[in-house]
C-alpha cells in the first residue's frame, strides 16, 4: 500500500455522536478515529445499530437533529471541518464529498430527469452552463456503463432499473471529481448479479478519491477495500489492512462476523443423497401463474416442474423477478394457478379453494421475508401464535395455551414474552415468532421466502441453525427461497434455479453448486461476494439485467446476457435435459462456464 | 455472539404507548379541555333539569320575554314565558341524542360498506363506490323535507335522515384505509394461515382503523349537531314546539331586538358542544400521531 505517500483527505479523532433521550444522552458513535487517503478504500463494517451510518453522515455534517457531534479533530482536505457553517458545507457536499445511498429508487427526485439532476450538481458547483454540463453528464453516464446515455439523460427515475439507477447515482456522486466518496450500503438493495457489476464499477472508478464504504457484509468489503474498520455499539473493535483482518482477525466479534459471512466452505453433513423411493409429498407439473397487464398476460411462472419429498430441503434460487415468490404463492393458493397440475400427497389440489385449500394449509405453511411487516403490530405474541389454531378450530383454550408455550420453547423465546407486542422484539426475534406461527399447525412442508435476508449476518446464522434444528426434530420439509447461493449450498439438499419464470437448472445442491451446468447458475454463484477472495478469484460478471417477462427474448431466454451464447440459442429454446454433471439444465452447451468457488480446506465438496 | 439473542429491554415501549394514548395524564391539552367540556355539557343536560325542577314546556304568558335574572328566570324567558335555561338543557339533551345516534348509524353503515368494498374487488366494490358518489350528490335539505313529509316529525325520522345521508364520509375513509391495511404483510400471513376473510377484517383491519374512526366519530358528531340545529331552524327537524336548540333559534328571530338573549344563549350552547367535539377530534388525531411515532421508535430500537 502506498497510501502514506498520497494526500490525506479525512482525519478524524475521537468522534462522539450523541442523541438526547429520556434517560440521558445515548452515544451512537463513541470515540471513533479514522484517516483516509486519496485512492484508498476504507470499509466500515458493522451490523444494524452499530452507528456506522451516523458515522458516515457526520463526515458530511448531516447528522439529524437533535444529535450532537463532537470530536477533538476533524479535518477534511487539510482544513478544520468543525469550523464550517451550513453555507460552506453546501459548497463542499457534492463538490468535495460525494455520497451514494443505499436505495437508488429513493435517492433521485421522481419528477425530474436523471440528466437534469446530475447536471444540476455541475451547474451549481462548477458554474457550468446547461449545454456544457449536459456533455459532461453524458460522458459520465457512459463511463458508469449506462447504455445509450444520450437517451437515458432524459429518462425519469421510474424508467430505469435499480442497477441502472445505482450506476447513475455513482455518476452523480463522481461528477465533480470529489476527493472523498461516501457509500452507504451501495449494493444492499440490489440483486447479487447486479451487485457484482456495481462493485466492479466502483473498484474501477475510485482511483483518485478516497472511498468510505459502509456495509454490513464482510464479503462486500473483502471485494474492494484496502483497509477495514469493524464497528460495534459505536466503537471500533478492530481496524487494519483488509486482507490482514480477514485472514487473522484479532477480535472475537470480527471472528464471529467472519464466521457468519458467506463462503462456500461449510457443508452440512448429509445423509447419502436420498433415493426417491416414496412418491413426492408435493408434486407440481407445468405450473403456470400469469397476471393481466393491460391487454397482455405477464407469465410470472411459465411451466415450472417442482417436487418436494418429505423431510428434505429444496432451494428455489434466482434474481428478483425470476418468479420465485410467485411460485411459492401459487403453491399456497394465493395466486391462482392458470395451468399445470399440483398434487399434495396424491390429491389434486391444483384449483383448491374454500375448505380444501384451508385443509391444505394445515400441511403447507409459509414464512414471509420481512419480519417487520408480517406480524400485526397491535397483536400480542400469544394472539399471533394462536391465530392459526383459532382459524382451524384446533384444541381447547388450555391445549392452545400449552401449544403456544411449546412453540415459544421450540424457537427459543422465553414464555414470559407472550404478552408483549411485536414492537418490543428485534428482527431476529420477530422472525422466530413468525416461524413459530407457521409451525403451530405442524405442517409437513414449510415454505420460507428469503427467511433471513432482512436480518443481520450474525442473526442469520442463528435463524438458519434454528430451522435446521426444527427440521431434525419434526421432519418437516423446507422449500427455501433465496438469492444467497452460499446459504443454499450450506443447507439445501436440492436446488432449483429459476430464470424468467422457467427452471433453467435443477439437481442436488452438491452437483448444482460445485459443477453448475447452466451459465446463469455459474454467474449467480460467481456473484456471491465471498470473504476468502484475495482478488484472484475468477469472476463471471453478467451484462445487463433480467429482461421483462412481458417481452421474453426468443429462443433461450438467457441468451442476451449469456457469455457463451451461439446463433442456435437465439432461435431455439433449449429443453431441460440431463447433463454429465448429474443435474438437469436447460442449455445447449452445459458445463462450459466454470466457477471458482474458493472452497477452503474445511470443504468436503 | 453464538448464544441466542438476549431479550432486550422490552415491555417499556408498550407501557409508554398505552400511557401516552389512553390515560388522561398523557393526553394532549386540547383533548383534556374538550373532554372536560363535553362531560360538563352532558352532565348539565342530564342532571341540572332534575335540580331545577322546571318543565321546559310550561308556558306563563304573564311572565313572557323576561331578561336573564328577572322575574325568577335564571336565563330569562321566551315569548310564551317558558324558562330558557330549562329549554336549553332539554334542547341540548335532544341535540346530543340526535347527533350521537345519527353518527352511530352513519358509522355503522359506512364501516360495513367501506370494509366490504375494500375486501371484495369487482362488482361489489364498483356498486358501493358508485352508491357513495350518488348519496354524496343528493341535495340533503330536499331529502330531509321529503322524509319529514312522508314519516312526519320526530326523533327517528330525523336520525334516519341524518345517518342515511352522511354515511359516505365514513365509507370513503374506511375504504381507503382498509385497502392499505389489506396490503400489509401480516394480512397475507393471516390468509396463508387459513384465517377467514371475516376474521381478517374484524381482527386485523378494523383495529387498524380504530384511531382514524375515533377521530372521524368526533368530527362527525360536531357536524351532526350543526345539521340537526339547521334542519330544526328550518322547521324540518325537531317537531314544532319541542325544546330543541334549532327550534329556539328559529323562534327567536322575531324577538331579535327585544330579547337578543333568546338567540344568543341557545347559539352559545351549540357552539360549546361543537367546540368540545372538535377539540376531542383534534386531540385524538394528535394522540394518534404521537402513538404512531412511539410505536415506530420501538420497532427501530429493536
The answer to whether A501 and A302 have CB atoms below 8 angstroms apart is: yes
| C-alpha span between A596 and A522 (Å, rounded) | 9
ipTM: 0.81
The answer to whether A41 and A224 have CB atoms below 8 angstroms apart is: yes
A390 chain-B contacts, CB cut-off 8 A? 195, 199
| C-alpha span between A394 and A358 (Å, rounded) | 13
The residue assigned the cell 314546539 is: B241
The answer to whether residue B8 sits within a structural domain is: no
Of B200, B134, B206, the residue nearest B167 (C-alpha): B134
The residue assigned the cell 345539521 is: B227
8 Å CB contact of A375 and B7: no
Using 50, 70 and 90 to split pLDDT, how confident is the model at A203?
Answer: confident
- The C-alpha cell at B20 is 401516552
Residues A536-558: tens digit of each pLDDT: 777 777 877 777 778 888 889 89
Share of chain B above pLDDT 70, in %: 87
Model-wide pTM > 0.80? yes
The predicted pLDDT at position A274 comes to 55
Domains held by chain B: number = 1
The answer to whether A339 and A286 have CB atoms below 8 angstroms apart is: yes
| C-alpha span between A454 and A447 (Å, rounded) | 16
The predicted pLDDT at position B22 comes to 53
8 Å CB contact of A420 and B10: yes
Mutate to test the interface with A, among B202, B299, B300, B301 (most CBs of A within 10 A): B299
Q: How far is B93 from chain A (nearest CA, A)?
A: 37
Burial readout B14-53 (b: 16 or more C-beta within 10 A, e: otherwise):
bebbeebbeeeebbbebbebbbebbeebbebbeeebeeee
- The correct CATH number of A282-585 out of 3.40.50.300, 3.40.50.1100, 3.40.50.620, 2.40.30.10 is 3.40.50.300
The predicted pLDDT at position A267 comes to 55
B193 chain-A contacts, CB cut-off 8 A? 361, 365, 387-388, 391, 437-438, 441
Using 50, 70 and 90 to split pLDDT, how confident is the model at B301?
Answer: very low
A412 chain-B contacts, CB cut-off 8 A? 4
B207 chain-A contacts, CB cut-off 8 A? 378
Q: How far is A391 from chain B (nearest CA, A)?
A: 5
Please indicate if any CB of chain A lies within 8 Å of the CB of B22. Answer: no
Please indicate if any CB of chain A lies within 8 Å of the CB of B185. Answer: yes
* DSSP one-letter string for A325-388: HHHHHHHTTSSPP-EEEEEETTEE-TT--HHHHHHHHHHEEEE-S-TTTSS-TTS-HHHHHHHH
The answer to whether residue B7 sits within a structural domain is: no
Residue B127 half-sphere exposure, CB side, CA atoms within 13 Å?
Answer: 6
The predicted pLDDT at position A119 comes to 92
Which CATH number fits the domain that encloses residue B215?
1.10.3720.10
pLDDT tops 80 at residue B24: no
A370 chain-B contacts, CB cut-off 8 A? 185
B183 chain-A contacts, CB cut-off 8 A? none
Q: For residue B91, give the 3-state DSSP assignment.
A: helix
Do A37-260 and A282-585 share a fold?
Answer: yes
The answer to whether A48 and A36 have CB atoms below 8 angstroms apart is: no
Residues B214-225: tens digit of each pLDDT: 999 999 999 999
Of A483, A475, A380, A487, the residue nearest A437 (C-alpha): A380
Helix and strand tally (H, E) in chain A? 21, 23
pLDDT tops 70 at residue A105: yes
Partner residue opposite B192 with nearest CB, options A332, A377, A392: A332
As a whole number, mean pLDDT of residues A412-431 equals 90
Of A108-122, A257-271, B81-95, the least confident = A257-271
Of B8, B82, B4, the residue nearest B300 (C-alpha): B8
A378 chain-B contacts, CB cut-off 8 A? 207-208
As a whole number, mean pLDDT of residues A415-431 equals 90
A-B C-beta contacts closer than 8 Å: 103
Using 50, 70 and 90 to split pLDDT, how confident is the model at B198?
Answer: very high
Of B143, B209, B135, the residue nearest B166 (C-alpha): B135
- The correct CATH number of A37-260 out of 3.40.50.300, 3.40.50.720, 3.40.50.920, 3.40.50.970 is 3.40.50.300
The answer to whether A266 and A490 have CB atoms below 8 angstroms apart is: yes
Residues A45-63: tens digit of each pLDDT: 988 888 888 999 999 888 8
pLDDT tops 60 at residue B248: yes
pLDDT tops 70 at residue A388: yes
Please indicate if any CB of chain A lies within 8 Å of the CB of B190. Answer: yes
The predicted pLDDT at position A5 comes to 61
pLDDT tops 60 at residue B2: no
Q: Could you tell me which chain A residue has the CA closest to the CA of B3?
A: A462
A427 chain-B contacts, CB cut-off 8 A? 302
pLDDT tops 90 at residue A23: no
Share of chain A above pLDDT 70, in %: 95
Mutate to test the interface with A, among B194, B201, B293 (most CBs of A within 10 A): B194
Task: Please name the residues in contact with B127: beta carbons below 8 A apart, sequence gap of 6 or more.
Answer: none
- The C-alpha cell at A383 is 394472539
> In 10 A of CB A136, how many CB atoms?
16
The predicted pLDDT at position B23 comes to 56
The answer to whether residue B167 sits within a structural domain is: yes
| C-alpha span between A211 and B168 (Å, rounded) | 57
pLDDT tops 50 at residue B13: no
Rounded to an integer, what is the distance from CA B15 to the centroid of its chain?
29
Domain housing B126: 69-295
Q: How far is A252 from chain B (nearest CA, A)?
A: 9
- Residue B294, φ and ψ in degrees, nearest 5: -60, -50
The answer to whether A61 and A81 have CB atoms below 8 angstroms apart is: yes
The residue ranges of every structural domain in chain A are 37-260, 282-585
Return the bridge partners of A289, or none. A301
A357 chain-B contacts, CB cut-off 8 A? 194
Q: How far is A42 from chain B (nearest CA, A)?
A: 25
Q: How far is B22 from chain A (nearest CA, A)?
A: 14
Residues A293-341: tens digit of each pLDDT: 888 888 889 999 999 999 899 999 988 878 899 999 999 989 989 889 9
Residue A525 half-sphere exposure, CB side, CA atoms within 13 Å?
Answer: 29
Of A217-226, A577-586, B14-23, the least confident = B14-23
Long-range contacts of A594-598 (CB under 8 A, 24+ apart): A594/A522, A595/A516, A595/A522, A595/A525, A595/A526, A595/A538, A595/A540, A596/A526, A596/A537, A596/A538, A596/A539, A597/A264, A597/A513, A597/A514, A597/A525, A597/A530, A598/A263, A598/A264, A598/A530, A598/A532, A598/A533, A598/A537
| C-alpha span between A100 and B126 (Å, rounded) | 45
The answer to whether B117 and B104 have CB atoms below 8 angstroms apart is: no
Positive or negative: CA dihedral B156, B161, B164, B166: negative
pLDDT tops 90 at residue A166: no
8 Å CB contact of B192 and A365: yes
Q: For residue A449, give the 3-state DSSP assignment.
A: strand
Q: At what angle do helices B206-233 and B261-301 cross, to 10 degrees?
A: 170
Partner residue opposite B185 with nearest CB, options A370, A392, A426: A370
8 Å CB contact of A424 and B302: yes
| C-alpha span between B224 and B96 (Å, rounded) | 9
Amino acid at each position: 500500500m502506498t497510501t502514506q505517500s498520497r494526500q490525506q483527505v479525512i482525519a478524524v479523532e475521537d468522534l462522539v455522536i450523541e442523541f438526547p433521550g429520556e434517560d440521558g444522552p445515548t452515544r451512537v458513535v463513541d470515540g471513533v478515529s479514522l484517516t483516509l487517503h486519496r485512492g484508498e478504500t476504507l470499509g466500515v463494517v458493522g451490523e444494524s445499530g452499530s452507528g456506522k451510518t451516523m458515522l458516515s453522515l457526520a463526515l458530511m455534517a448531516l447528522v439529524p437533529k437533535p444529535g450532537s457531534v463532537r470530536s477533538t479533530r476533524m479535518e477534511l482536505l487539510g482544513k478544520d471541518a468543525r469550523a464550517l457553517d451550513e453555507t460552506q458545507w453546501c459548497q463542499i457536499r457534492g463538490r468535495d464529498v460525494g455520497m451514494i445511498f443505499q436505495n437508488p429508487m429513493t435517492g433521485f427526485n421522481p419528477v425530474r430527469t436523471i440528466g437534469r439532476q446530475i447536471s444540476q450538481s455541475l451547474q451549481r458547483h462548477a458554474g457550468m452552463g446547461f449545454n456544457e454540463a449536459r456533455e459532461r453528464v453524458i460522458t459520465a453516464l457512459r463511463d458508469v456503463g449506462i447504455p445509450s446515455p444520450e437517451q437515458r439523460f432524459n429518462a425519469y427515475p421510474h424508467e430505469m432499473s435499480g442497477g441502472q439507477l445505482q450506476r447513475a447515482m455513482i455518476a452523480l456522486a463522481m461528477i465533480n471529481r470529489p476527493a472523498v466518496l461516501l457509500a452507504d450500503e451501495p449494493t444492499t438493495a440490489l440483486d447479487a448479479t447486479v451487485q457484482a457489476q456495481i462493485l466492479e464499477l466502483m473498484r474501477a472508478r475510485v482511483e483518485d478519491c478516497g472511498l468510505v464504504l459502509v456495509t454490513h457484509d464482510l464479503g462486500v468489503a473483502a471485494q474492494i477495500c484496502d483497509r477495514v474498520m469493524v464497528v460495534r455499539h459505536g466503537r471500533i473493535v478492530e481496524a487494519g489492512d483488509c486482507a490482514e483482518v480477514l485472514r487473522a482477525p484479532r477480535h472475537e466479534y470480527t471472528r464471529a462476523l467472519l464466521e457468519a459471512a458467506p463462503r462456500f466452505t461449510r457443508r452440512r453433513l448429509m445423509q447419502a443423497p436420498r433415493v426417491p423411493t416414496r412418491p413426492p409429498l408435493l408434486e407440481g407439473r407445468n405450473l403456470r401463474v400469469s397476471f393481466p397487464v393491460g391487454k397482455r398476460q405477464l407469465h410470472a411462472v411459465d411451466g415450472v416442474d417442482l417436487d418436494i419429498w418429505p423431510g428434505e430441503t429444496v432451494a428455489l434460487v434466482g434474481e428478483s423477478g425470476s418468479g420465485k415468490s410467485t411460485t411459492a404463492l401459487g403453491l399456497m393458493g394465493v395466486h391462482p394457478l392458470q395451468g399445470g397440475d399440483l398434487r399434495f400427497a396424491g390429491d389434486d389440489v391444483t384449483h383448491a379453494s374454500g375448505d380444501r385449500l384451508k385443509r391444505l394449509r394445515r400441511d403447507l405453511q409459509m414464512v414471509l421475508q420481512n419480519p417487520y411487516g408480517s406480524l400485526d403490530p397491535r397483536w400480542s405474541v400469544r394472539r399471533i401464535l394462536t391465530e392459526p389454531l383459532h382459524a382451524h378450530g384446533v384444541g381447547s383454550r388450555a391445549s392452545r395455551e400449552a401449544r403456544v408455550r411449546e412453540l415459544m420453547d421450540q424457537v427459543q423465546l422465553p414464555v414470559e414474552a407472550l404478552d408483549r407486542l411485536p414492537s418490543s422484539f428485534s428482527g431476529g426475534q420477530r422472525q422466530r415468532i413468525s416461524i413459530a406461527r407457521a409451525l403451530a399447525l405442524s405442517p409437513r412442508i414449510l415454505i420460507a421466502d428469503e427467511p433471513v435476508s432482512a436480518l443481520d449476518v450474525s442473526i442469520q446464522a442463528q435463524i438458519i441453525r434454528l430451522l435446521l434444528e426444527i427440521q431434525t426434530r419434526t421432519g418437516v420439509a423446507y422449500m427455501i427461497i433465496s438469492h444467497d447461493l452460499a446459504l443454499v449450498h450450506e443447507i439445501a439438499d436440492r436446488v432449483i434455479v429459476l430464470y424468467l419464470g422457467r427452471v433453467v437448472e435443477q439437481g442436488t445442491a452438491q452437483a448444482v453448486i460445485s459443477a453448475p451446468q447452466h451459465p446463469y447458475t455459474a454467474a449467480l454463484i460467481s456473484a456471491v461476494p465471498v470473504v476468502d477472495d484475495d482478488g484472484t478469484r475468477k469472476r463471471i460478471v453478467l451484462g445487463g439485467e433480467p429482461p421483462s417477462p412481458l417481452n421474453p427474448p426468443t429462443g433461450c431466454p438467457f441468451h442476451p446476457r449469456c457469455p457463451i451464447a451461439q446463433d442456435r440459442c437465439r432461435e431455439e429454446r433449449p429443453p431441460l435435459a440431463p447433463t454429465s454433471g448429474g443435474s438437469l439444465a436447460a442449455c445447449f452447451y452445459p458445463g462450459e462456464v466454470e466457477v471458482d468457488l474458493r472452497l477452503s480446506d474445511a470443504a468436503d465438496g | 455472539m453464538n448464544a441466542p439473542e438476549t431479550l432486550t429491554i422490552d415491555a417499556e415501549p408498550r407501557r409508554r404507548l398505552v400511557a401516552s394514548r389512553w390515560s388522561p395524564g398523557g393526553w394532549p391539552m386540547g383533548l383534556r379541555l374538550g373532554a372536560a367540556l363535553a362531560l360538563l355539557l352532558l352532565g348539565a343536560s342530564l342532571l341540572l333539569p332534575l335540580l331545577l325542577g322546571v318543565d321546559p314546556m310550561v308556558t306563563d304568558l304573564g311572565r313572557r320575554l323576561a331578561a336573564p335574572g328577572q322575574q325568577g328566570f335564571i336565563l330569562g324567558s321566551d315569548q310564551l314565558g317558558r324558562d330558557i335555561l330549562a329549554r336549553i338543557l332539554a334542547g341540548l339533551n335532544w341535540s346530543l341524542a340526535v347527533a350521537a345516534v345519527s353518527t352511530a348509524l352513519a358509522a355503522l353503515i359506512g364501516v360495513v360498506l367501506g370494509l366490504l368494498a375494500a375486501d371484495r374487488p369487482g362488482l361489489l366494490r364498483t356498486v358501493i363506490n358508485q352508491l357513495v358518489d350518488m348519496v354524496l350528490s343528493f341535495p340533503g335539505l330536499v331529502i330531509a323535507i321529503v322524509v319529514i313529509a312522508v314519516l312526519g316529525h320526530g326523533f327517528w325520522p330525523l336520525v334516519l335522515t341524518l345517518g342515511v345521508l352522511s354515511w359516505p364520509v365514513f365509507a370513503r375513509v374506511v375504504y381507503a384505509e382498509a385497502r392499505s391495511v389489506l396490503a400489509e404483510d401480516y394480512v397475507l400471513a393471516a390468509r396463508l394461515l387459513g384465517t377467514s376473510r371475516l376474521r381478517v377484517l374484524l381482527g386485523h383491519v378494523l383495529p387498524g382503523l380504530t384511531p382514524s374512526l375515533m377521530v372521524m366519530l368526533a368530527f362527525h358528531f360536531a357536524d351532526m349537531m350543526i345539521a340537526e340545529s339547521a334542519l330544526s331552524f328550518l322547521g324540518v327537524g325537531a317537531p314544532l314546539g319541542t325544546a330543541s336548540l334549532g327550534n329556539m333559534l328559529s323562534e327567536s328571530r322575531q324577538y331579535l331586538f327585544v330579547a337578543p338573549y333568546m338567540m344568543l344563549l341557545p347559539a352559545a350552547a351549540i357552539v360549546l358542544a361543537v367546540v368540545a367535539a372538535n377539540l376531542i377530534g383534534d386531540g385524538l388525531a394528535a394522540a394518534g400521531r404521537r402513538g404512531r411515532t412511539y410505536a415506530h421508535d420501538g420497532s427501530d430500537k429493536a
